[in-house]
Chains A and B, each alone.
Chain A
């Protein structure tokens, strides 16, 4: 029997060192892990966008006057719409719509000058290409708002026509209705989940597959040390990813961090720990890297994408799916992130999310603890 020449702490250090070496020497995987957040942010920010931008508008104004010009100017002055041509007949408008040269047409009825200003009604028609119904509904809605406002300006102040009720909408927290406000927290949830759960489970199962875990077990080291040492590098990697995402969202996507950065980071770390425990749990139930990848990829990632509210609103889903969504840690994390980051809510408002995440983490660790044997069979 050897005398103890090294302490437990240095053993942990040696193992952490080993894990960091594994990660650093697998350049391709490392590149992917560091690149994922950048790619996701760029994809969601610029390619996959649900926002309306640069809608091509055609104008049909047989009898232009001050009023119609004011409305046209107001509409085209908006970022969402660009001028795509002046038309002389309804037939020409329809041709252009069909060819896809324009997506929306603003058609004024031929009328006596000054009519709009007199009775406040706008004889104007919006014709939209509704082959993409959501987008069409969105930009006709914008256009209607702009036209109503412009018409209101022409008609004078509201005091002069007290009978009309004009609801004033205020879009809180995201006045420009920018999708980025929604997906930045979502991408954070996705990326952290991917790196922590998937990579941890793969890296533990790899040791099972290669037989090195057998060797490690036939030694005085406790499985706890092996697992804990595996967590450290992924914790660091997650930290880098959180920073990358936040920097990209603030400086590239103009999504501000309204709330407390401290709590944002703290809640993110909590979520990282929950994801790591998911990874440990997965590794305790599978034997091959492929199985670990499939479970983390399909069974864990798909619900995160579909049920966390990242792409589809959970509120509109059938009751069963809504219930399922409560089981997904990322859902709670994303909800908390939205509140802190976008709404600037104080930490008291996300207490429920924090408690749910803490509970999930403890439960997962307990179950994995039970399942992770210090024997192989």
Chain B
């Protein structure tokens, strides 16, 4: 039995279709990532799976329990960490954790082993109010509270958004640790580079799953040669590259443009052409395609966040 079964789930808010029939299956002990830009429908799917919302159509089950029928049972078995920090700011770190333990009819001591690695880092500040914590510490507290009842499935909605790079890295380490303890994790992120850290991912856009597979499978399936191009005037370079016959697609990726060349094109040729058009310091490098390149290839446009 899969940890999570999603079968043709649809949801609309008025005239906006948030989910247009998504289907996937998350295996036990897997870290499954929902990768997609803001507004792709990630949070809506989280809310349906955590039984906060009813789907308009389709079926879903969590831990073998139907989200529509057996939602009460689901609620005691999952851990949920919403996108926004949602603990009590006027309660202390310790009070928050204790409250959530009581909420699930357990005690902090009973499951301390599970959260020790995370909570241990904020325990020195246990008498501090949650409002006074830094972003990374808030995140650790929220994760501790989501874990304190030893859930079988963990739902983390954009846990790394707005968190410093060090804390982000720590969080992924923690997820790996939890995976070894047998906890299934459904995690969403708008950061493509975090996709590699998941066992499997669903690329999501405008309420649809574009692709569900392991990150390496997605790259293998869609990855083509990618050239990273740099020049002295980047915005003009983008226009000129797109107009060039040897370039199939070209998108801005931070400080470089990623070019998918037409078959037979060479980097030397392209560089000379660009220099002929007045660009200087043109650098072209062949790189391994990332998830983001695949996403753009599949989605047809680059509206995802780079780190």
**Is A356 interfacial (CB-CB < 8 Å)?**
no
**Is B265 interfacial (CB-CB < 8 Å)?**
no
Query: Is there contact, CB below 8 Å, between B91 and A221?
Result: no
For B51, list chain A residues within 8 Å (CB).
217-218, 375
For B91, list chain A residues within 8 Å (CB).
18, 21-22
How many interface residues does chain B have, given as a range? 35 or more
Query: B11 — nearest CB in chain A belongs to which residue?
Result: A377
- Given A2-B150, A214-B52, A375-B54; A221-B103 close (CB under 8 Å): yes
Query: A377 — nearest CB in chain B belongs to which residue?
Result: B53
For B98, list chain A residues within 8 Å (CB).
14
Query: Is there contact, CB below 8 Å, between A5 and B76?
Result: no
**Is B302 interfacial (CB-CB < 8 Å)?**
no
Query: Is there contact, CB below 8 Å, between A1 and B102?
Result: no
For A212, list chain B residues within 8 Å (CB).
86-88
- Most A C-beta atoms less than 10 A away, residue of B47, B91, B103, B149: B103
For B87, list chain A residues within 8 Å (CB).
212, 215
Give A251 to B281 CA distance when docked, in angstroms. Answer: 89
Query: A219 — nearest CB in chain B belongs to which residue?
Result: B103
C-beta contact mask, B74-113 vs A, less than 8 Å → 1, else 0? 0111101010111111110001001110111111001100
Partner of A217, one of B75, B77, B104, B105: B75
**Is A133 interfacial (CB-CB < 8 Å)?**
no
**Is A210 interfacial (CB-CB < 8 Å)?**
yes
Query: Is there contact, CB below 8 Å, between B105 and A220?
Result: yes
Query: Is there contact, CB below 8 Å, between B90 and A220?
Result: no
From residue B45, how far is it (CB to closest CB) to chain A in Å? 13
Query: Is there contact, CB below 8 Å, between B53 and A376?
Result: yes
From residue B187, how far is it (CB to closest CB) to chain A in Å? 16
**Is B72 interfacial (CB-CB < 8 Å)?**
yes
**Is A26 interfacial (CB-CB < 8 Å)?**
yes
Interface of B is mostly: loop
**Is A216 interfacial (CB-CB < 8 Å)?**
yes
- Most B C-beta atoms less than 10 A away, residue of A22, A215, A216, A376: A215
Give A220 to B149 CA distance when docked, in angstroms. Answer: 11
Query: Is there contact, CB below 8 Å, between A220 and B75?
Result: yes
For A5, list chain B residues within 8 Å (CB).
105-107, 110
Give A169 to B76 CA distance when docked, in angstroms. Answer: 72
- Given A18-B91, A211-B86; A220-B54 close (CB under 8 Å): no
Query: A225 — nearest CB in chain B belongs to which residue?
Result: B103
**Is B50 interfacial (CB-CB < 8 Å)?**
yes
For B47, list chain A residues within 8 Å (CB).
214, 376-377
Query: Is there contact, CB below 8 Å, between B150 and A22?
Result: no
From residue A375, how far is it (CB to closest CB) to chain B in Å? 6
How many chain A residues touch the partner (CB < 8 A)? 28
From residue A212, how far is it (CB to closest CB) to chain B in Å? 5
For A376, list chain B residues within 8 Å (CB).
47, 52-53
- Given A2-B106, A11-B102, A18-B99; A218-B88 close (CB under 8 Å): no
- Given A11-B103, A376-B47; A219-B54 close (CB under 8 Å): no
For A210, list chain B residues within 8 Å (CB).
86, 88-89
For B89, list chain A residues within 8 Å (CB).
210
From residue B132, how far is it (CB to closest CB) to chain A in Å? 13
Query: A13 — nearest CB in chain B belongs to which residue?
Result: B102
Query: Is there contact, CB below 8 Å, between A219 and B75?
Result: yes
Query: Is there contact, CB below 8 Å, between B76 and A215?
Result: no
Give A168 to B99 CA distance when docked, in angstroms. Answer: 68
Give A133 to B149 CA distance when docked, in angstroms. Answer: 72
Give A334 to B46 CA distance when docked, in angstroms. Answer: 49
- Given A4-B105, A6-B102, A218-B50; A22-B110 close (CB under 8 Å): no
Interface of A toward B, CB cutoff 8 Å? 1-6, 10-11, 14, 18, 21-22, 25-26, 210-212, 214-221, 375-377
Interface of B toward A, CB cutoff 8 Å? 47, 50-54, 72, 75-78, 80, 82, 84-91, 95, 98-100, 102-107, 110-111, 145, 149-150
10 A–B pairs (Cβ distance < 8 Å), ordered by A:
A2-B104, A14-B98, A14-B99, A14-B102, A18-B88, A212-B88, A218-B51, A219-B100, A219-B103, A377-B47
